[in-house]
Structure 1
Amino acid sequence: MISKETINKILSVSCIEDIIGNFIELKKSGVNYRGLSPFSNEKTPSFIVSPKKKIWKDFSSGKGGNIITFLMEHEHFTYVESLFYLAKRYSIKINYNSSIKKIFKINHEEHEKLYTIQDYAKRFFINQLFFTREGMKNGLNYLIKKRGFNIKVIHRFELGYASFSWGSFTKKALEKGFKIRDLKKSGLTIYKKYSNNFFDCFRKRVMFPIHNLSGKVIGFGGRNIEFSISTKYKYINSSESDLFQKSKILYGLFQAKRNILKEDLCYLVEGYTDVISLHQSGIKNVVSSSGISLTVEQILLIKKFTKNIVLFYDGDSSGIKASLKGINLILEQDMNLRILFISDGEDPDSISKKYSISQLKNFIAKRSYNFISFKEKIYSKLYKNDPIKKSYFILNILNSISKISNLLQRELYLQEASNILDIRQEILIHELEKINKRNKLKIISFQRTKKSVIENKKIQNPLFIIEEKLIQLILNHGNKIIKKEKHNTTVFKEILHVFKHWNIRFSLNKNQEIFDGICSQKNENKTDYLLSNNKKNIYSLSKLSKWDKKGIKVTDPEDKMNQYIIDLLLRYKSLYISKLIRKEISNYRLNKNNDREYFLKKIIYLTNIKNKLYKKLHRNV
């Protein structure tokens, strides 16, 4: 999407030692720079940056490349995100390929508006926290005295405060020139049509900005200071938007990602304050699912940085349930999992305040278990001296083991289960095979159901409906003469002519088979073929005479056959071309090389044809 000239300008202007120096400490070493690897825990610097060649090399991990590859490796940006990051850093305006603008609406400017609003909101809430009487009394007092956060960590996570006023943020934002339409999109302002009024979504709450991987604010979490009827929810989040999708983000990942890479481990907690408390205590490779149930998207986000997860949830019943629910999800994504077992009433926040950093790490090491030992601790009292309950528990363990794709790990977990549960391994293997068979049958059943749904969608698809009508016309009226300006033809020959001229094939195989069957007949046999199929085909219409006897007039399709066949073929061609355009757009997006220009020209060509067809159908383009 970005022109080659712009990309070359970005790469030529970018100073590699300046950019990398923002992420790791570099020291001059001759003509190069040297630093500790950000990808391993080395003690002797082996990370080299060459300003002359504009490349970097990490000898401890074997990684290396240019400034773009560094941002992709270290910050996990995409190629395009890396270019945007550098362009913004050096104030380079992004120029897009002009041909792209004709086909696709570039929503970058729209997103930038929302990012700007979120950034303004962040600064507004910070100002409210530190420089207003209400903010200092309610927000700052809560964070420092009740939560025990220091000023350094408050600044690190850019915490703020939303005042009790109904519209202070929105009013100030409008004064700054932001549009009400954009404020509504941002999820920070609610507009009521019936009263022609607006008000802030967050009021009298401590504000937790939520950042994306590049550090931009994409939404907020707000915690109420005191319980009341008007603020019955302890936490509320920004509403879903193009930028903010709760199921696909992790709170604290922006602040934690470098430490996760260094430690090759991620602690996963439930709440915002858990992340900040652990971070303040020295455990900085920690993220939160922001108070929602763990999702596959969130697990895969962690997997971009490490395959090792430690679940660190509250010790109460809801925390234990959340841990148990997350086990299979994490194992299915080929992750290495440990779970912390803590007492009821304890949580990451309270434990982080209880111990020093060395004691905390020692506590975590002693209290973290694999999923078999964790489940055994949870369920052992429930199935004690009850063989039936114990058998259900064993099946629960085996169901989790079945989610592990690595055969060696699966074998070792079976050995672990055999030792802990005091059950022969052969028995466990036999039961595991039964579970695997059931799972395969479920997958097959799901696929069949999915196939059935797809078939039903096909039946409802306008393109397929017209195909059915065309086949119906061929079988019922294929030999009917229709008058043209220069010559007469038949229904079948007219359809055949259009399909050959436009190089069209029926989308449904059964329709193409019928069509091929008719085409394969010799000219003298075509009439017989059509008549014989007309007698037995499923599309045959009931005799119209029986309706006439009842005094009901039914329009015969033959009455206006000429116009009917023309309109039907026009509609079919327009739908067929639309289908081809969608296919080419998909090819264009998937293709990353120079062939994209070819696809673009093809899309434009097909769009022009579609517009002409729509005009013939008397539609507005």
Structure 2
Amino acid sequence: MIISKENRKKILSASCIEDVIGHFVKLRKSGMNYRGLSPFSNEKTPSLIVSPTKKIWKDFSSGKGGDVISFLMEHENFSYVESLHYLANKYNIRIEEKNNNDHYHEVYHQICKKLYLIQDYAKSIFIKQLFLTEEGKKNGLNYLIRKRKFDMKSIRKFELGYASYSWNFFTKNALDKGFKIQDIEKTGLTIIKKDNYFDSFRKRIMFPIHDLSGRVVGFGGRTIVDPSNFTYTKYINSSESFLFQKSKILYGLFQSKKYIVKENFCYLVEGYTDVISFHQNGIKNVVSSSGISLTIDQILLIKKFTKNVILFYDGDISGMKASFRVINMMLEKEMNIRILFLNNEEDPDSLSRKYSMSQLKDFLVKNSYNFISYKKKIYDKLYQKKYDPIKKSFLISNILNSISKIKNILQKELFLQEASRILNVKQEILNSELERIMKKNIKEKFIVEKNEKTYNLFSEEKKKENILIILEKKLIKFISFYGNKIIKKGKNETTVFQELLHFFKNFNLRFYLKKNQEIFDNILSKNVKKKETSDSNVINVIENEKYYSLSKWEKKGIEVPSHKENIDQYIVDLLLRYQSQYILKLIQEEIIKHNKNIENKSFIKRIMYLTNMKNKIHKKLHRYV
């Protein structure tokens, strides 16, 4: 996707460098320039200079400098295109992108724009409900301040809100504001059932989830009702939408990214409140996986800012199991990981409230371990250091399996040495076992990939077969309803039924499914009006089968007129598409039949003939071959 040169000039000329940098750094006027503390180093004397006239900046403490784009790339870890999008959004400039799918992107852009507006409106509604309604103050604010010990600064910083108990308070307000119900539903904030609608979030603390630019893309809602006594889910997230994909977003990353870059490491916790508690305690390089199992996309998102992660999950059994899974994923993506070892009753939220910032930092340093020491500690905790050769062999295999994920040869060797020391096992033996595990992993990976390829080929074959069957059902349905409809054929007139019969006889075709051929034969034998042709078999097909809409074909690049609009063209297109799929099926059958003798001249001649026929049909359908 390319942003035009004219568009880039427009964005850059509209951008005010002191305004952009001033959003991230406190600037003070100094003659014709601005000064501020370096965001890239710890300093007490301002060394960052911003020149509005030259539209450049220079940080003398780190030696970095450039224009507004380079600042965003350095400070926010944006790509060049992401920086342009950020500036365009900030100054309300529409980006015109060069792409073969211009119309698609235009539609997509318009949908996203509407959804962003609705999400932002929802955020404001939830904030008002928290601070300005009796229900919000009593249930929401009281919970956040008294139970969670959040101060007003943290509540406002993370833009927390409250969703009322009303069934449709938000949706009704959004409709009154002028938003359309279909667009509101796309955000996942509203559920529509039959002719009724109601809010997805009710009687919950609302946590807005931001993207890297700070726009709200979704919400997390925490019930204030005790989930042990009611059938309430403790936390729910927005449903998947154009904007919100849980597996690709990290809660708190927008608020934490500059601190992650500054510290060059990141705390990874499980929940929303863990992130807020850490920030309130002065530790701001922290993100959460929003209550879902960590994904590869989320790891790569962290990697944009740092390769160093301290995993801080709960100290219970489920937290331990989750940490084991995350360790291997992190190592595979060449991340440097340390893990907090906690007692059962400890979690990030409780610890951040228990200790001051300096005490908490000291606790985190003393209780974080590399994955080998961490797994050994869990083993000792579970088995109280009782020696059991079988259990210990499982521990060793588990540790070696993690080491096998490391790609860096030097690191792998050093971790083997560490494992030998901690486990008190000779390194030669560990080396031998590691080689066995790696060979096994390669073999399993090969089998998985082979199975995936086989499955994909099978799926593709089934998909093509299904298209043929779908078209047969369409033809049966069409002649059942419109068999006696008069259509034009050149200067002459004929009926839909006669046209279909002529087509099948002319090309010597039969329906692929035996059931469909029997129905067609039944209609052929009667060849009477629609009323008389609607026997039980035909009715069964029409009423019980799910027919696919023509939009499926339009997505494939075939323009299909509605049969209500142009029945003559509709039947011609339908028959051409059927013939095309029928020929494809014949080609596949020929290839399977002669798979061991593909150099046979008659086979090649047959394939060329069928392919030529297929190409001619595609041209009639205005498709590129």
Residue 236 of structure 2: SS of its match in structure 1? Answer: strand
Q: Match for 2:219: what amino acid?
A: F
User: What's the TM-score once normalised by structure 2's chain length?
Assistant: 0.74
What is the aligned partner in structure 1 of residue 320 from structure 2? Answer: 320
Q: 2:616, 2:262 → 1: CA distance? A: 58
1:312 Cα offset (Å): 0.9
Tell me the SS of whatever aligns to 2:18: helix
Q: Secondary structure at the match of 2:622?
A: helix
- The SS at the match of 2:38 is coil
Q: Structure 1 residues 436 and 185 mapped into 2: Cα distance closer, same or farther (>3 Å)?
A: same
**The residue matched to 2:392 in structure 1 has which SS?**
helix
Q: Distance between the aligned counterparts of 1:394 and 1:509, measured in 2?
A: 54
For residues 507 and 70 of structure 1, what CA distance do their matches in structure 2 show?
56
Q: Deviations over 1:148-185 (max 9, x none)?
A: 00000000000000111001111111000010001110
Task: Give the Å deviation of 1:64.
Answer: 3.9
Query: 1:1-40 alignment to 2 at 5 Å?
Result: 1-27=2-28, 32-40=33-41
Q: Which amino acid aligns with 1:263?
A: E
1:515-557 CA-to-partner distances (Å, cap 9, x unmatched) read 9957xxxxxxxxxx54xx79xx9x99xxxxxxxxxxxxxxxxx
Structure 1 residue 61: deviation in Å? 4.9
**SS of equivalent residue, structure 2 residue 25:** coil
AA at the equivalent of 1:69: S
Shift of 1:48: 4.1
Q: Find the residue that maps to 2:441 and give its secondary structure.
A: helix
What amino acid does structure 2 have at the position aligned with 1:427? I
Distance 1:42 1:434, change over 3 A: farther
**Cα offsets for 1:284-309 (capped at 9, x unmatched):** 11111111111111111111111110
Question: In structure 2, how many angstroms separate the alpha carbons of the residues matched to 1:69 and 1:107?
Answer: 28
Q: Using the alignment, how far apart are the partners of 2:454 and 2:620 within structure 1?
A: 31
Partner of residue 204, structure 1 = 203
Counterpart Cα distance in 2 of 1:61 and 1:570: 68
Is 2:168 the partner of 1:167? yes
Q: Specify the alignment match of 2:232 in structure 1.
A: 232
Q: Distance in 1 between matches of 2:244 and 2:390?
A: 46
Aligned-partner Cα distance in 1 for 2:334–2:589 = 39
Q: Secondary structure at the match of 2:432?
A: helix
The corresponding residue for 2:475 is none
Q: Which moved more, 1:3-12 or 1:394-403?
A: 3-12
Aligned twin of 1:191: 192
Alignment match, 1:413: 415
Q: 1:43 to 1:507 in 2, by over 3 A?
A: farther
- Check conservation: 1:75, 1:214, Cα contact below 8 A: no
CA RMSD of aligned residues (A): 3.3
Paired with 1:80 and 1:354, the residues of 2 have a C-alpha distance of 43
Kept after mapping to 2: 8 A contact 1:207/1:222: yes
Q: Using the alignment, how far apart are the partners of 2:273 and 2:294 within structure 1?
A: 17
Contact 1:570 1:613 in 2 (8 A): no
How many angstroms does 1:47 deviate by?
4.0
1:352 Cα deviation after fit: 0.7
Q: SS in structure 2 opposite 1:342?
A: coil
SS in 1 for 2:373: helix
Aligned-partner Cα distance in 2 for 1:336–1:509: 54
Supply the AA of the counterpart residue of 1:167. Answer: N
Q: Deviations over 1:49-91 (max 9, x none)?
A: 3434323344555544322232233223343432232223334
- By how many angstroms is 1:387 displaced? 1.0
Report the TM-score when normalising by structure 1.
0.74
Structure 1: gaps spanning 5 or more residues:
467-481, 483-505, 519-528, 541-563, 576-608, 615-621
Query: How much does 1:253 deviate?
Result: 0.6
Q: Is the 8 A contact 2:223 2:235 kept in 1?
A: yes
Deviates more, 1:506-515 or 1:96-105: 506-515
Secondary structure of the 2:242 match is: coil
Q: Distance in 1 between matches of 2:53 and 2:108?
A: 36
CA distance in 2, matches of 1:263, 1:98: 39
Change (3 A) 1:348 1:379: same
* Aligned position for 2:146: 145
Partner of 2:85: 84
Name the aligned partner's letter for residue 177 of structure 1. G
Counterpart CA distance in 2 for 1:221 and 1:126 is 14
Offset of residue 36 of structure 1: 3.7
The structure-2 alpha-carbon separation of the partners of 1:132 and 1:57, relative to structure 1 and needing over 3 Å to count, comes to same
| Paired amino acid for 2:355 | Y
Say which SS state the counterpart of residue 291 (structure 2) adopts: coil
In the TM superposition, residue 101 of structure 1 has moved relative to its aligned partner by 3.2
The whole-number CA distance in structure 1 between the counterparts of 2:142 and 2:118 is 27
Give yes or no for contact 1:162–1:203 (8 Å, CA) kept in 2. Answer: yes
C-alpha separation in 2, matches of 1:98 and 1:297? 26
Equivalent position of 1:555 in the other structure: none
Aligned residue for 1:275, secondary structure, equals helix
Pair 1:455–1:145, CA change in 2 (3 A) = closer
Specify the code of the residue in structure 1 equivalent to 2:218: G
Change (3 A) 1:431 1:47: farther
Structure 1 residues 408 and 610, CA gap change in structure 2 (3 angstroms): farther
CA shift, 1:372, in A, is: 0.7
Q: Is the 8 A contact 2:591 2:598 kept in 1?
A: no
Q: Distance in 2 between matches of 1:514 and 1:385?
A: 60
Aligned 8 A contact 1:224 1:231 in 2: no
Measure how far apart 1:137 and its partner are: 0.5
Q: Give deviations 1:433-473, integer Å, cap 9, x for gaps.
A: 1111111112222232233234435645749x99xxxxxxx
- Indicate how the Cα distance of structure 1 residues 426 and 11 shifts in structure 2: closer, same or farther if over 3 A, else same: same
Deviation at 1:254, TM superposition (A): 0.6
In the TM superposition, residue 508 of structure 1 has moved relative to its aligned partner by 12
Is contact 1:33-1:49 (8 Å) kept?
yes
Contact 1:159 1:208 in 2 (8 A): yes
Q: What is the percent sequence identity of the aligned residues?
A: 61
Residue of structure 1 equivalent to 2:218 = 219
Task: Find the residue that maps to 1:236 and give its secondary structure.
Answer: strand
> Whole-Å Cα distance in 2 between the matches of residues 341 and 299 of structure 1?
21
In structure 2, relative to structure 1, the CA distance for the partners of 1:334 and 1:185 (3 Å cut) is same
1:399 Cα deviation after fit: 0.6
1:271 alignment partner in structure 2 = 271
Residue 293 (structure 2) aligns with: 293
Q: How does 1:55-454 map to 2 (within 5 A)?
A: 55-58=56-59, 61=62, 63-95=64-96, 101-102=102-103, 105-193=106-194, 196-227=195-226, 231-380=231-380, 381-382=382-383, 384-454=386-456
Give the residue type in structure 2 aligned to 1:198: Y
CA contact (8 A) 2:204 2:224 kept: yes
Can you give the 5+ residue segments of structure 2 that lack an aligned partner in the other structure?
Answer: 469-506, 508-586
Q: Which amino acid in the other structure matches residue 38 of structure 1?
A: P
Give the Cα separation in 2 of the matches to 1:275 and 1:103.
Answer: 38
- Counterpart Cα distance in 2 of 1:116 and 1:307: 34
Instruction: Quote the residue 1:612 is aligned against.
Output: 622
Q: What is the letter of the counterpart of residue 414 of structure 1?
A: L
Which residue of structure 2 aligns with residue 571 of structure 1?
Answer: 614
- Secondary structure at the aligned position of 1:87 is classed as helix
* Counterpart secondary structure, 1:259: helix
1-structure distance, mates of 2:67, 2:411: 37
Q: Distance in 2 between matches of 1:102 and 1:387?
A: 65
Contact 1:153 / 1:280 at 8 angstroms: preserved in 2? yes
Given the superposition, is the C-alpha separation of residues 121 and 369 from structure 1 closer, same or farther in structure 2, using an over 3 Å criterion?
same
Q: Is the CA contact 1:249–1:289 (under 8 Å) kept in the aligned structure 2?
A: yes
Letter in 1 for 2:622: K
Shift of 1:403: 0.9
Q: Do the aligned partners of 2:225 and 2:232 also contact (CA within 8 Å) in 1?
A: no
CA contact (8 A) 1:384 1:390 kept: no
Describe the shift of the 1:138–1:404 C-alpha distance in structure 2 as closer, same or farther (beyond 3 A): same
Structure 1 CA distance for aligned equivalents of residues 142 and 211 of structure 2: 28
Instruction: Assess if the C-alpha contact under 8 Å between 1:267 and 1:285 holds in 2.
Output: yes
1:68–1:83 contact (8 Å) kept in structure 2: yes
**Mean alpha-carbon deviation: is it higher for 33-42 or for 437-446?**
33-42
For 1:4 and 1:172, the matched residues in 2 are separated by 42
Determine the C-alpha separation between the residues in 2 that align with 1:103 and 1:256.
34
Give the Cα–Cα distance (whole angstroms) in 2 for the partners of residues 133 and 169 of structure 1: 16
SS in structure 2 of the partner of residue 612 of structure 1: coil
Counterpart of 1:587 in structure 2 is none
